[in-house]
Structure formats: structure tokens, C-alpha cells
Amino acid sequence: MLNAKDLLQDLKFVTSEDKKKQGIPRDNEVLLQRRKDQIQPGGTTLSVTVPYRIIDQPLKLAPQDWDRVVAVFVQGPAWQFKGWPWLLPDGSPVDIFAKIRAFHLKYDEAKMDPNVQKWDVTVLELSRHRRHLDRPVFLRFWETLDKSVFVLVCVPQVFQLLWLISRLPVFQIHGQTQIAPQVLRPLLSPTPPWLVSGHHVTPVTERRIGGLSPLVVIVF
């Protein structure tokens, strides 16, 4: 957790040991603000800031909060997932990775963990000494995660309509409505691309990420 913001917001690798030497206090969670550009219909670009909650004690999450977890950093041992929802009877976490995007961070010369090798995990490899190579690695993290998150840009009136229809699991961030495609599908044509209130919608994933909170969660 000491270096979570360095890695995911500043896109540079700093070891936990270095942060400890700097006297940085350790928090149980970190709020990260990610600025990103969204391509709009017609080719215009909308710049938004998306807040992410970074935690390292996921078992403290309320049951309803698990639907907001979008990513986890995998260490390797299966015991990391003890007490998590979606575990198989034998304790295997493979079903978790069908719902939450998994990542593993390692030095490029380090041996691959055997569990990581067989699980559906995106491996991010860092150079031990060449810090100028950090940025592309962490940009790949965000590019991979973005493909797992469904974003619908719509006007406030459409957001209110979606919320009123059966209390759909949607939330709004700076005018952007986040909603899972399986929620929209019954309301739309069965064949993509879908058009909603003049905005082009691309289905990416089949899982709900919602709740009425602007915070999505990454387990670090």
C-alpha cells in the first residue's frame, strides 16, 4: 500500500522499502484520482477524473461492496483469497478472475509463480533498474482494466431514467454513467453497436461493476 499511488497514479515504480525509509506512514486504503480522456461521438474528447479506492484488507468489504471491486493484484499463493466470495469448493480462485481483473507485478528476470502461470492473470513485468520503462508497464495496467469496465456517456436525464427503471445498478462520475451491459441489453437492440440518446455504446464485459457510489475498488 505504501507505493500504490506511485505505481497506479504517478506510473513509476518505487519500492515499499524506499517509502519506509522516507518515513511515509502506511494507510489501510488510498484514494487515487485518475485522469483520462474519453473519445465522444463525432471525434471530440472529454477529459474526466475517475476516483479509485485502493485497499489491502478486502475482507472488511461489505457484501454489496464486492460488486465494485474491479481489479486485484495477485501475489501467487491461493491463500491470498481465503474468505473471498466466488471461491470454488477446493479453494481455487479461478472464478474470481472471471469477475475481477487480476494482475501480477514482478521483475522481468524473476521466475514466474506457478499459480500465476496457470491462472487468468495479466503479468506486468518491471525492469529492476531502468525506471524509464515503468510508465508503459502501468499504462498497460490501465488499458487492460479499461477494457473490463463498461462506460456509457449520457446526459443527466438519461442517468435519472436508468436509475428509476427498477433501481438499475448505475453510478455517475462527472457526467459519465457507469453501467454493466447486461443491465442495458434488455432495453436495447440485441445487435451491437448500440445507440443510447445519441451516444455510441460499446459492450466490453458481462459483469456488474455498479452500486450508487463513484468509488470503484482495486485490491492491492
Q: How far is 49 from 34, CA to CA, in rounded Å?
A: 5
- Note the Cα 87 to chain centre separation in Å: 20
Q: Do 141 and 166 reside in the same domain of the chain? A: no
Asked, for residue 77, whether it belongs to a domain, the answer is yes
Query: Which carries the bigger pLDDT value, residue 210 or residue 158?
Result: 158
Closest to 197 in 3D by CA, of 216, 177, 219, 214: 177
Span 58-98, pLDDT tens digits: 998 888 888 788 889 999 999 999 999 999 999 999 999 98
Q: Do 124 and 54 reside in the same domain of the chain? A: yes
The range of the structural domain enclosing residue 160 comes to 151-204
Would the pLDDT of 49 be above 80? no
Q: Do 163 and 94 reside in the same domain of the chain? A: no
Span 155-208, pLDDT tens digits: 444 444 444 443 444 443 344 444 444 444 444 433 333 333 333 333 333 233
Q: What is the mean pLDDT of the chain?
A: 73
Q: Do 157 and 132 reside in the same domain of the chain? A: no
Asked, for residue 212, whether it belongs to a domain, the answer is no
Asked, for residue 214, whether it belongs to a domain, the answer is no
pTM higher than the cut 0.85:
no
Residue-by-residue DSSP string for 64-83: GGGGGEEEEE--S-GGGGTT
Asked, for residue 79, whether it belongs to a domain, the answer is yes
Band of residue 26 on the pLDDT scale cut at 50, 70, 90? confident
Band of residue 40 on the pLDDT scale cut at 50, 70, 90? low
Q: Do 159 and 143 reside in the same domain of the chain? A: no
Q: Do 14 and 110 reside in the same domain of the chain? A: yes
Band of residue 41 on the pLDDT scale cut at 50, 70, 90? low
Asked, for residue 70, whether it belongs to a domain, the answer is yes
Q: Do 94 and 183 reside in the same domain of the chain? A: no
Q: What's residue 103's pLDDT?
A: 95
Q: What's residue 190's pLDDT?
A: 39
Share of the chain above pLDDT 90, in %: 34
Dihedrals φ, ψ of 119, to 5°?
-90, 165
Q: How far is 192 from 183, CA to CA, in rounded Å?
A: 14
Q: CB-side exposure of 200: number of CA atoms within 13 Å?
A: 9
Q: Do 101 and 171 reside in the same domain of the chain? A: no
Mean local confidence (pLDDT), 143-155: 64
Most confident of the following: 110-114, 145-149, 202-206: 110-114
Asked, for residue 156, whether it belongs to a domain, the answer is yes
Would the pLDDT of 150 be above 60? no
Q: Do 170 and 196 reside in the same domain of the chain? A: yes
Indicate if the alpha-carbon torsion angle 58, 63, 150, 80 is positive or negative: positive
Query: Which carries the bigger pLDDT value, residue 83 or residue 29?
Result: 83
Asked, for residue 165, whether it belongs to a domain, the answer is yes
Closest to 65 in 3D by CA, of 76, 57, 74: 57
Asked, for residue 24, whether it belongs to a domain, the answer is yes
CATH code, domain with 77: 3.40.50.11990
Instruction: Name residues whose C-beta falls within 8 Å of residue 92's C-beta, 6 or more positions apart in sequence.
Output: 78
Band of residue 131 on the pLDDT scale cut at 50, 70, 90? very high
How many structural domains comprise the chain?
2
Would the pLDDT of 7 be above 80? yes
Distances 189 to 41, 59, 157, 181, 204 between C-alpha atoms, Å: 19, 39, 21, 12, 16
Q: What's residue 137's pLDDT?
A: 96
User: What are 149's three cell numbers?
Assistant: 469496465
State the amino acid at position 131 in one-letter form: R
Q: Do 142 and 170 reside in the same domain of the chain? A: no
Closest to 141 in 3D by CA, of 131, 126, 153, 162: 126
Q: In this structure, are residues 129 and 16 in contact, taking their beta carbons and an 8 Å threshold?
A: no
Q: Do 131 and 183 reside in the same domain of the chain? A: no
Q: Do 135 and 184 reside in the same domain of the chain? A: no
Closest to 137 in 3D by CA, of 106, 100, 97, 98: 106
